[in-house]
């Protein structure tokens, strides 16, 4: 009998912004039978200040910590490949989908808005943090928590708009991406998993909203405001937990890597327009006055380039269904 078990933590970044993609990320780990619990981590420890909910650890304008975690994981072999010498290589390594699939919805004249890598580089602060988080990963391994893989799904605004036209809310898109990741990482590990995901929207009963898992035999273990959990034969246990990114090691790690992916892809959009007008502000893409100003100031340029609105801004028609 095996003395190891496989666990997954998954979370999303960018569910509600005005600009930029939604990113859903999952981390797969192999745990030794005598390993420490993943259910919580000591936020008072040094590592607790570097691992957890990305919203509390990474500020707008400085995603060095998130970058360092992503680089350390890829260097450790947790990506699709170990190439990570540039941000673009790093992005390609952590993405579940290959570049061709990510670019498939892009009109040829729009690719530059989201895929131009001119001027990209790693931050010097992340260079400093890299050996520190690498030691953190070593310490997790010593505790019996061996990180095996990290994968992100990037859902651009065009795909969100397509989903909205099909009657799917962004919450459903988020959930279905989590399902895809759990299935992919379960196959990679080759064994049933215990997967913990951040709660999606206001869902309590997930059975009605499943996408890739729809129709699969499962048992409901719990459905409450705090936690909804299900057992799938041949897959394992899948649970959705409120604030999991702040209390679960792997969910927190997924949140940090997803934050880097979100910030990198959002910065490409901003830099695309700043190449033509350096006076434009650097924006987060969220619903704030600076982002609103950026949208207004780039309108003429977008019309000149023929950028479809769905490729730039979130569709307002998307619904937010609750179950």
Residue 100: per-residue pLDDT? 95
Give how many domains the chain has, as a whole number.
1
Q: What is the pTM of this model?
A: 0.93
> What is the β-pairing status of strands 193-198 and 145-155?
unpaired
Residue 60: per-residue pLDDT? 65
Residue 176 CA to residue 186 CA, distance in Å, equals 15
320, part of any domain: no
232, 102, 263, 90: CA torsion to nearest 10: 90
Residue 237: domain span:
4-268
39, part of any domain: yes
- Percent of the chain whose predicted confidence (pLDDT) is above 90: 82
How much is the average pLDDT of 62-86?
94
70, part of any domain: yes
- Pick the more confident residue, 47 or 10: 10
DSSP 8-class letter at 184: H
299, part of any domain: no
Sorted by sequence, the CB contacts under 8 Å of residue 294 that are 6+ apart come out as 19, 270, 273, 280, 281, 283
Query: Is residue 322's pLDDT more than 80?
Result: no
End-to-end CA separation in angstroms for the chain = 39
In tens, the pLDDT along 107-155 reads: 999 999 999 999 999 999 999 999 999 999 999 999 999 999 999 999 9
Sorted by sequence, the CB contacts under 8 Å of residue 164 that are 6+ apart come out as 170, 315, 317, 318, 319
Residue 228 CA to residue 87 CA, distance in Å, equals 36
Mean pLDDT of the chain: 90
Element containing residue 153 per DSSP (H, E): strand 145-155
15, part of any domain: yes
Query: Is residue 178's pLDDT more than 60?
Result: yes
Per DSSP, the three-state class of 187 is helix
CATH classification at residue 169: 3.30.420.10
Band of the pLDDT at 51, cuts 50, 70, 90?
confident
Going edge to edge, which strands form the sheet with 227-232?
A: 145-155, 22-32, 4-13, 193-198, 236-241, 227-232, 219-223
Sorted by sequence, the CB contacts under 8 Å of residue 14 that are 6+ apart come out as 20, 21, 22, 23, 262, 266, 285
Sorted by sequence, the CB contacts under 8 Å of residue 319 that are 6+ apart come out as 164, 167, 169
304, part of any domain: no
Element containing residue 88 per DSSP (H, E): helix 87-94
Residue 1: per-residue pLDDT? 42
Residue 58: per-residue pLDDT? 61
């Amino acid at each position: 009998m095996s003395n190891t078990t496989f666990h997954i933590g998954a979370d999303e970044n960018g569910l509600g912004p005005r600009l930029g993609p939604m990113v859903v990320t999952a981390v797969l780990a192999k745990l030794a039978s005598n390993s420490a619990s993943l259910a919580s981590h000591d936020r008072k420890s040094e590592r607790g200040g570097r691992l957890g909910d990305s919203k509390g650890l990474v500020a707008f304008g400085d995603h060095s910590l998130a970058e360092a975690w992503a680089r350390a994981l890829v260097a450790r072999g947790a990506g699709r490949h170990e190439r990570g010498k540039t941000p673009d290589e790093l992005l390609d390594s952590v993405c579940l989908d290959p570049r061709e699939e990510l670019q498939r919805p892009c009109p040829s004249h729009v690719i530059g808005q989201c895929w131009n890598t001119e001027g990209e580089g790693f931050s010097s602060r992340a260079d400093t943090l890299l050996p520190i988080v690498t030691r953190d990963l070593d310490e997790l391994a010593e505790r019996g928590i061996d990180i095996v893989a990290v994968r992100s799904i990037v859902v651009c605004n065009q795909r969100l708009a397509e989903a909205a036209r099909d009657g799917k809310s962004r919450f459903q898109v988020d959930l279905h991406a989590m399902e895809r990741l759990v299935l992919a990482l379960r196959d990679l590990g080759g064994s049933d998993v215990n997967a913990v995901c951040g709660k999606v929207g206001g869902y309590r009963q997930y059975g009605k909203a499943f996408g890739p898992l729809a129709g699969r035999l499962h048992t409901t273990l719990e459905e409450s405001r705090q936690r909804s959990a299900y057992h799938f034969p041949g897959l394992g246990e899948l649970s959705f937990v409120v604030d999991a990114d702040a209390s679960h090691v792997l969910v927190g790690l997924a949140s940090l890597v997803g934050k880097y992916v979100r910030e990198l892809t959002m910065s490409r959009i901003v830099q695309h327009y700043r190449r033509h007008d350096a006076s434009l502000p650097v924006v987060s893409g969220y619903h704030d006055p600076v982002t609103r100003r950026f949208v207004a100031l780039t309108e003429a340029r977008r019309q000149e380039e023929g950028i479809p609105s769905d490729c730039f801004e979130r569709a307002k028609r998307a619904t937010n269904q609750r179950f």
